[in-house]
Structure 1
Amino acid sequence: MTDSIRELQVRRIDGLLVVGDGHERISPSVTHHFGVPVTYAFAASDHAEDVVYLPDNETAGRLATRHLLERGRTGIAHITGDRTSIAVRLRERGMRAELEAAGRVQAGQTLHGSWSSRWGAAAMIELLDSGTPFDAVFCGNDHIGLGVLEVCAARGLRVPEDVAVVGVDNWEGVVLDQGIRRLTTVDLQLQRLGRLAAADLLAPERTPGEHLVEPTLVVGPSS
């Protein structure tokens, strides 16, 4: 990191866009190293005055859960990533807030693991074998959702008749198979987030703090 900062300082840049790989944890601010505007995209900073653009992960959890409730689902389970991830905690908080507002409770305990389809499949097997009654699964991302779908097919469960499944991300390379959508998902609007963050660098006036970009629901055959 120090070498990268020195290289950018030597270049005499006019602005810096710091792009992260997800809202997993809070990263140390680098703003004080530069005398030019610095904006963070898809990365949280530990300095409250930094300009940060992030997806609204809590709303993502709400959207997925509300959709399942509107589809008449009464037992919503949750399979997601590492419990230390900020995004994981926010999506789970949104889910539980929506369930509480509807007078419902979560089906079983949240199953935490990796962001992989392998984990999604293993967790779905664990959920089915536990005997927990459920008719829907909110998955922390689309890879997990695909793992859940694989187990449903192997166990003879109809989707969405027996189990509805919703993921998060809407990455076409994951949710589309030969152009055909496989999964209902929440789109975090990362392209819009990137455009907003880039435009911020050129803005004459900048507002410090976190700016949350609202996600959208993309309905597919899994719900």
Structure 2
Amino acid sequence: MKGERRATVRDVAARAGVSPGTVSKALNGTGQISEATRERIRAAAEEIDFRPNALARSVFERRSYTVGMITTDSFERFSVPVMLGAEDALGAGRISVFLCDSRGDPIRERHYVDVLLGRRVDGFIVTGRSSNRRPPLAGAGDVPVVYALTPSADEADCSVVVDDTTSGSVAAEHLLRIGRTRIAHVTGPDHFDATKRRYDGFAATLAEAGVEPTGNAMFGGWTEAWGRQATHILLRAHPEIDAIHYGSDLLARGGADALREVGRRIPEDVAITGTDNWELIAEGARPPLTSVDLRLADVGRVAAQRLLDAIEGRPHSGLEQVPCQLVVRASTDETAG
């Protein structure tokens, strides 16, 4: 009705018998409030058709309800899943995310930090496409920062990362479980921490089973072309190979091409596994690719939860790893679809 007064936080507080501050915390999913009180406040807000005003809320609570996400991942292959996971966690508190791509340029990154601080963001999530440690975010001052996927070089900072060592281990366990014993490894550049950790997990699990990796680990680029070339090199040197674990799904797709080119059947002759569980690649492969899901969305979700804690005055520190998960498809399982 025209001229009808809009309900306010104070109206909700009066109806629920609590303070306006308690109403704000309950509706934003923050604070130490009992579930019974939280539910009573929600019911009161619904009864009087209360719709929070974002600007008023930010002034009242001295928060902008925005978070800045800074990435160095220009390809967005890794930062987008992380951002989607973060948005899932932040959305419950009606917090918006500003995504800025620094393209790996420290000057551009500092510019974005200044711009986002000018918008009074409540915190920062810093991510990228590498798991190598990076310098702490410069210029953030006392605004909370959490690192996702790409950890901070300062071990006191809060960093949420994938479990690369276990990703290599679970792939090796699976290949051993299906009876493969002549297992090789093709992966990316050896200057990536993730590359080395994945191989360490892979080799350690084989060693526990009394199995030596077949041939040396094949380090190279993160490309289909390298996956194809490395696989041909391995097959010439070790024609007895019955399984190959690849450090990425793109490498595995190139490797699958090489195996077909020499008449090797997948998985009957050579079983293959990838890493990333990039569904566009893994499900479209011939045959569909068994792959280790690094759960990037969960990395973003956990990072956002840790940032929310820090914003509420409960900061976290140190390195936190998100468990990975093997997704089995036809490249290792003849019965899979």
Which bracket does the TM-score occupy, shorter chain normalised? over 0.9
Alignment match, 2:111: 3
The structure-2 alpha-carbon separation of the partners of 1:181 and 1:195, relative to structure 1 and needing over 3 Å to count, comes to farther
- Measured after TM superposition, the shift of residue 6 of structure 1 is 2.1
Q: Deviation string for 1:31-82 (max 9, x for gaps)?
A: 6632111111111211011110100000000000000000111111000000
Query: Structure 1 vs Structure 2: percent identity of aligned residues?
Result: 36
Give matches, 1:24-35, under 5 Å: 25-30=132-137, 33-35=140-142
Residues 43 and 52 in structure 1, CA contact (< 8 A), matched pair in contact too? yes
- Tell me if 1:209 matches 2:318: yes
- Tell me if 1:199 matches 2:308: no
What stretches of structure 2 of length at least 5 have no aligned partner?
1-108, 333-337
- Tell me if 1:172 matches 2:279: yes
The answer to which structure has the higher strand fraction is: 1
Give matches, 1:7-18, under 5 Å: 7-18=115-126
Residues 110 and 138 in structure 2, CA contact (< 8 A), matched pair in contact too? no
Give matches, 1:91-110, under 5 Å: 91-110=198-217
Residues 108 and 132 in structure 1, CA contact (< 8 A), matched pair in contact too? no
- Measured after TM superposition, the shift of residue 152 of structure 1 is 1.1
Q: Deviation string for 1:81-128 (max 9, x for gaps)?
A: 000000001000101110111111110000111111111001011111
Displaced runs of 4 or more, over 6 A? none
Normalized against structure 1, the TM-score is what? 0.94
Distance 2:239 2:192 in 1: 25
- Measured after TM superposition, the shift of residue 210 of structure 1 is 0.7
Residues 31 and 38 in structure 1, CA contact (< 8 A), matched pair in contact too? no
Asked which structure has the greater RCO (Cα within 8 Å, sep 6+), the reply is 1
Q: Deviation string for 1:129-164 (max 9, x for gaps)?
A: 223531100100000001111111111101111101
Q: Deviation string for 1:149-201 (max 9, x for gaps)?
A: 111111110111110100000111111229x8710000001111111111111
Alignment match, 1:124: 231
CA RMSD of aligned residues (A): 1.6
Distance 2:156 2:199 in 1: 27
Normalized against structure 2, the TM-score is what? 0.63
SS at structure 2 position matched to 1:191: helix
SS at structure 1 position matched to 2:179: coil
Residues 187 and 217 in structure 1, CA contact (< 8 A), matched pair in contact too? yes
Give matches, 1:1-223, under 5 Å: 1-23=109-131, 25-30=132-137, 33-131=140-238, 133-177=240-284, 182-203=288-309, 204=312, 205-223=314-332
- Measured after TM superposition, the shift of residue 208 of structure 1 is 0.3
- Name the stretch that deviates more: 200-209 or 72-81: 200-209
What stretches of structure 1 of length at least 5 have no aligned partner?
none
Residues 130 and 192 in structure 2, CA contact (< 8 A), matched pair in contact too? no
Would you say how many aligned residue pairs link Structure 1 and Structure 2?
221
